[in-house]
Structure 1
Amino acid sequence: MIVPNGPGEQAQTISPGEASSHIPAPPNDADRTYVTMMIVHHQQALSMTSLVPTRAANGTVKGIASRIEDSQKPEIGAMEQWQKQFGASGASKHDHSTMPGMATAAQLDALKNASGGAFDRMFLELMIVHHEGAVKMATDLLGAGQNVLVEEMANDVISTQTDEIQRMRDLLPQV
């Protein structure tokens, strides 16, 4: 079996018998910070998607928002479970408004007050930036974190949200 080590370190090859005794690297500050920040980041995305059913006009926008909800709710649950498992605090001294891709209060208010095609366009524009921020945070974590579970979560964010960004960009000219 091949077992990953920390960033920049050579992976180990171990026998199946050794696998049960192999303990992955404990989380570091980058892992803890990423998980805490990504929970808040995902929560804002869910706040935005919660507006879609009553304000969006475009069916594809509604479908994208539904997929975002369907993926990010369980991801929040997994990250909160990770925090419990590793004794990581859910509290953070970080100013969440400075996280990459976070919509401002004014942008969220404008989104809440929009409807129809104007809502669809604003939602897509804000969510593209939001997802780009999440991809940046996840990419940054891969160079700084060391916990394999957090790296797997970050890789999933990169893969899923990069695909969603492209779908939303493709849809923008149609709304």
Structure 2
Amino acid sequence: MFISRARITVAGTGIAVALLIAGCSNDSGSSTSGTTTAMADMPGMSHNTASSAAPARTDFDAADVTFLQMMYPHHAQAVEMAKMVPSRSQNQQLIALASKIEAAQAPEMTKFADLLHSFGKPAPSATMDHPMDGVMSQDQMAALQKASGADFDKMWLQMMIEHHKGAVTMSNTELADGSNAEVKALAQGIITAQQAEVTQMQGMVQS
């Protein structure tokens, strides 16, 4: 009789353990599922949490990088000069030209930055650390800011002509020394557009 009760007790204990294990298994599965769902609902989270950044490109050379890094602040000054025109000039032809320059060069600055990023290079700076072809000095920019009317128009045109010529020189260097097709296409576009604008501005100065 004692043996029978022992067997019943052991059997009962086995059933209890089995039920306990089953319960823990269900709770664990539910908890894991809930955590996964919560992570999936968070911005930037997904079921596959492992992610890797795209590798930097290698289809470029030092000349491409230098061109993009230097042309960015070069364009930034041209955009700054263009923004001065509406409040200082009454010349509608000049106002239209300044608007055209800003509309062309501001988006190109974004392209320069995007390409540098794709090359694994730091973001470009609008600050010029050393002299560049066609870039105006701080004194020249200050004098331009103080001018108005016809004096401003003439000064602005003369400065922007030199600025554009500098950009063309830098772009020709990129065509000669660069290797990346996208950067070289940007350089060629700058040459085509800015040479035409130089011709236009030279005519405006003489009129």
TM-score class normalised by the smaller sequence: 0.7 to 0.9
Task: Give runs of aligned pairs for residues 147-166 of structure 1, distance below 5 A.
Answer: 147-166=180-199
For 1:112, the aligned partner's letter is Q
Task: Give runs of aligned pairs for residues 79-158 of structure 1, distance below 5 A.
Answer: 79-91=112-124, 96-158=129-191
For 2:68, the aligned partner's letter is V
Alpha carbons 1:39, 1:76 under 8 Å: kept: yes
Quick one: which of 56, 66, 81 aligns to 2:89?
56
2: CA distance between counterparts of 1:57 and 1:91?
34
Quick one: which of 89, 105, 111 aligns to 1:72?
105
Residue 26 in structure 1 maps to residue 86 in structure 2:
no
Normalised by the length of structure 2, the TM-score is: 0.69
Question: Where in structure 1 are there 5+ consecutive unaligned residues?
Answer: 1-23
Aligned to 1:9: none
Aligned to 2:72: 39
Report how far residue 125 of structure 1 moved.
Answer: 0.2
1: CA distance between counterparts of 2:128 and 2:141?
17
Distance 1:95 1:111, change over 3 A: closer
2: CA distance between counterparts of 1:151 and 1:86?
15
Across the two proteins, how many residue pairs are aligned to each other?
150
2: CA distance between counterparts of 1:157 and 1:168?
16
More contact order relative to length (CA 8 Å, sep ≥ 6): 1
1: CA distance between counterparts of 2:200 and 2:68?
26
For 1:113, the aligned partner's letter is K
Structure number with higher helix proportion: 2
For 2:204, the aligned partner's letter is L
2: CA distance between counterparts of 1:125 and 1:59?
17
For 1:100, the aligned partner's letter is D
2: CA distance between counterparts of 1:143 and 1:81?
22
2: CA distance between counterparts of 1:62 and 1:161?
17
Which deviates more from structure 2 when the two are superposed, residues 107-116 or residues 25-34?
Answer: 25-34
2: CA distance between counterparts of 1:102 and 1:35?
15
Question: Where in structure 2 are there 5+ consecutive unaligned residues?
Answer: 1-56
Report how far residue 86 of structure 1 moved.
Answer: 1.4
Aligned to 2:9: none
Secondary structure of the 1:50 match is helix
